[in-house]
Amino acid sequence: MRLLLTTLTLALLAHAGAQDLHECGGQPGLPTGAHEGVYRGTLGGRPIALSTAGTDSPGLRYTYERIGLDIQLTPFHQGSALILQEEVRKQAAGETVVTGCFTLSPAGTGLKGTWRAPAKLGTSLPVVLNAVAVVRMPLKLPSTPGLLRLRHDDPLTFLKLNRAWVRASGGQSVREPVSQLAYPRVLGGSAALNGALQDRQLQHAADALDCRSQLAEDMQGDLSNGYDLTATVPYLSARLVSVREDVYYYCGGAHPDNYTHGLILDRATGREVKVTQLWPGLSAAKQEALYLAHPAPDLDPDCRDVLTAGGLEFTVHLSSAGLNLTPTSLPHVVAACGDTAVIPYSEVKALADTHLPYYKDLYPR
């Protein structure tokens, strides 16, 4: 998902480049010796965070910390002064326009200068930024591989998400306050398991903020745009946990899209358990055969033709009713044909590894 969003961002910036946007003055690129990093401070008194970590998206951008959406910047320089051109799409069908110009100079370990609106508006506001050593910032969430990786790879997004998350009543889910996405937790689950669930939520929260940042300003107030996640735990046993994720997103491209992703996790370690670990005989061909043997009752004839064309790939999750197979390889135009099929556990019992401890969870008698 992040790759798709980054590709969209680059396409938008390439489109902007085709307009030869250059309203802030200076020469293209960062000034010689410019320090690449992350800064926090204020723009006209409003808290912002700014990243100069590279000249390509998603590195060069800033965000108002209360909102958490990225505003893209193109770098220029005049001598040692850093000039950052703020570029925004106001309307979905419109072109990218310049909405502001930062002119910043080194000040100790930070940056200081002004932000001004395009010349015809004449507005100018002070900017004061201090360098942030993100790698030394205390973690406000349980330390997990995903959180540490985000801090290293994308420190600006880390700043947005490294805050106390909100545990829902009863503790069975947690809401991330910037993206507002909720994700389940397992009561009494191991720290490793709930850490793995936190990392899944962290990835979705970062994807959601990426997605919403791509929307033109006139699209951001429409709640049907952006990124929506529904995550449930349809299976929980002594040794296994399974999660189903359903994501709908529209980031300003040609059309909305959606996908389903299934997870099977070891309840003690939080590590992913591949379906072929549970059922070694469940090859790709066998999965396809089982799926086609359990069609939806109201399957459209045209969908039947699509599904029987061959080459289906699946995401898998478990539920109390059985093994759930959801196609992931269908083109967008026929994705609606990919209903989830539920295969009773009894039908795949002969394919299972009877020596695994998980076997007793799936087949208790």
Beta-strand relationship, 38-43 and 124-131: antiparallel
Q: Which residue has the tokens 């026929």?
A: 334
pLDDT tens for 167-180 read 987 889 999 999 99
Q: How confident is the model at residue 346 (pLDDT cuts 50, 70, 90)?
A: very high
Mean pLDDT over each residue of the chain, to the nearest integer? 90
Residue 230 CB: number of other CB atoms within 10 A?
Answer: 13
Q: Please give the single-letter amino acid code of residue 34.
A: A
pLDDT value, residue 355: 94
Cα–Cα separations (whole angstroms), residue 208 to 70, 85, 93, 176: 12, 25, 22, 11
Q: Which residue has the tokens 């699509």?
A: 306
**For the whole model, what pTM was predicted?**
0.89
Q: Helix/strand/coil (H, E, C) string of 314-326?
A: EEEEEECCEEEEE
Distance, CA of 232 to CA of 175 (rounded, Å): 14
Instruction: Kindly tell me if the per-residue pLDDT of 13 is higher than 70.
Output: no
Q: Is the dihedral of CA 126, 128, 134, 140 positive or negative?
A: negative
pLDDT tens for 29-86 read 989 887 789 999 999 999 999 998 754 445 689 999 999 999 999 999 999 999 999 9
Query: SS3 for 107?
Result: strand
pLDDT-wise least confident of 10-14, 123-127, 202-206, 338-342: 10-14
By the 8 A CB rule, do 264 and 275 touch?
yes
Instruction: Kindly tell me if the per-residue pLDDT of 146 is higher than 80.
Output: yes
pLDDT value, residue 242: 98
14 DSSP assignment: H
